[in-house]
Amino acid sequence: MEKIAKGIPDIKDWGIDADPENDPTYPMKPNRTDEEQNGYTWERSVQQAETVEILKSTERPNLSAVFGTSVPPKGLSGAIRRYAYKNSEGQFSHWLPLLIADRVNVVEGIIDDLKKGKVPNIYAEKGFNAMWKYNRKAAIGMIAANVAAVSALGLFLFRGRIFNEGKSVKKALQNYNM
């Protein structure tokens, strides 16, 4: 140990936790009790009451003794989540619908805000102030991208009108020239 330490930078407490005997190390069950060989038999805490809808993995027989109760499933995203939880964690049909539900939930969140009379300040929520202060280039890029996206959406939505108006102008010019 001392010999090895000679080539080492001056490190306070170098090697104090070295334990060549501890191999293989955590999490290789150093304190293996083999209790799990007896199955699901341990003494459980009191079961927490299910006061809101909890979606349970199909890979366990019950709810865990405690669980979180934040944001129960609801709306379209909730329906997708309920479907996802019918499939085991080993299947993509569990995880991919959950990712889709998360995206649907974002739209639901904006609608919820609007229903409460609150227009979400998406710029502030994205930390635009910090971006403006410390990375102005990215902030301007964000504004430009948003302007471009809104313009593209506007062009798409009103394309018929713009096209028809264009045709009318062309026709008027033709009539004038005649």
Nearer to other proteins, 57 or 168 (CB): 57
Name the amino acid, one letter, at 39. G
Asked if residue 79 binds other proteins (CB under 8 A), the reply is no
Q: List the structure tokens of 138.
A: 């990215």
Asked if residue 10 binds other proteins (CB under 8 A), the reply is yes
> Which DSSP string do the residues of the chain spell out, in sequence order?
-HHHHTTS---TTTTTT--TT--S-TTS-TT---GGGG-S-S-PPPPPP--S-----TTSSS--SS---SS---HHHHHHHHHHTTS-TTSHHHHHHHHHHHHHHHHHHHHHHHHTT----HHHHTTHHHHHHH-HHHHHHHHHHHHHHHHHHHHHHTHHHHHHHHHHHHHHHHHHH-
Shortest Å, Cβ 153 to other proteins: 18
Q: List the structure tokens of 73.
A: 């499933």
With CB under 8 A as the contact rule, the residue among 12, 115, 116, 161 that binds other proteins is: 12
Asked if residue 9 binds other proteins (CB under 8 A), the reply is yes
Instruction: Yes or no: say if 97 and 88 are a contact pair by the CB < 8 Å rule.
Output: no
Asked if residue 21 binds other proteins (CB under 8 A), the reply is no
Shortest Å, Cβ 52 to other proteins: 9
Nearer to other proteins, 60 or 170 (CB): 60
Compose the 42-61 pattern: x for residues touching other proteins by CB under 8 A, - for all others.
Answer: xxxxx-xx-x--xxxx-xx-
Shortest Å, Cβ 156 to other proteins: 23
With CB under 8 A as the contact rule, the residue among 76, 86, 93, 126 that binds other proteins is: 126
According to CB under 8 A, which residues from 81 to 100 bind other proteins? 81, 84-85, 89, 92, 95-96, 98-99
Shortest Å, Cβ 119 to other proteins: 13
